[in-house]
Amino acid sequence: MRIMQPRIGFALVGAALLATGVTSMAVAAQNQAAQPVCYSTCPSNVDLKVSFHVLHVGAEEIENFSVRVGPGVIGATASPTGTVTIKAGSTVLCTITLTTASRGRGSCSPSANALPAGHHVVIAYYSGDSMYSPAQSRPQQLQIIHLPGGGGD
């Protein structure tokens, strides 16, 4: 008869990680793939791509903001759902609805004349869902300019 001793080392390591501020970690039994263990919601990453960095006044609708929302922890496989709002300051440029089928990806375009001439910082804000925490992208630069000889403000 073989007596199995409990392994308290894992529990001690897990407790130490939590004490230092780690909010998620992957746990795996022997010969099994790791699955994330998040204690409320898993962190998420938001990647925003801007197709043009300089646009003419009134031509903002040709801009295509593409977004990818993914897990911020290794092993999470569920597709993020919810909404991503693209903003320049307090101005909402467009909104993307993520569904399970979209696998955390989407794109949108603002309306014409959405922004005045000038330099703008654009950020994508993810709402979060039951699995993933709200998050925002890194800022992207967008400049709106007047056409030469086109008059303007």
Q: Which CATH code fits 44-145? A: 2.60.40.10
pLDDT tens string, the chain, 153 residues long: the values are 444 444 454 444 555 555 555 555 544 445 555 555 676 778 889 999 999 899 989 888 899 999 999 988 777 778 899 999 999 999 999 999 999 999 999 999 999 999 999 999 999 999 999 889 999 999 999 999 988 765 555
* Domain boundaries, given as residue ranges, for the chain: 8-38, 44-145
The model's pTM is: 0.72
Torsion sign across C-alpha atoms 68, 71, 74, 75: negative
How far from chain centre, in Å, is Cα 27? 24
Nearest CA among 62, 2, 4, 59 for reference residue 30? 4
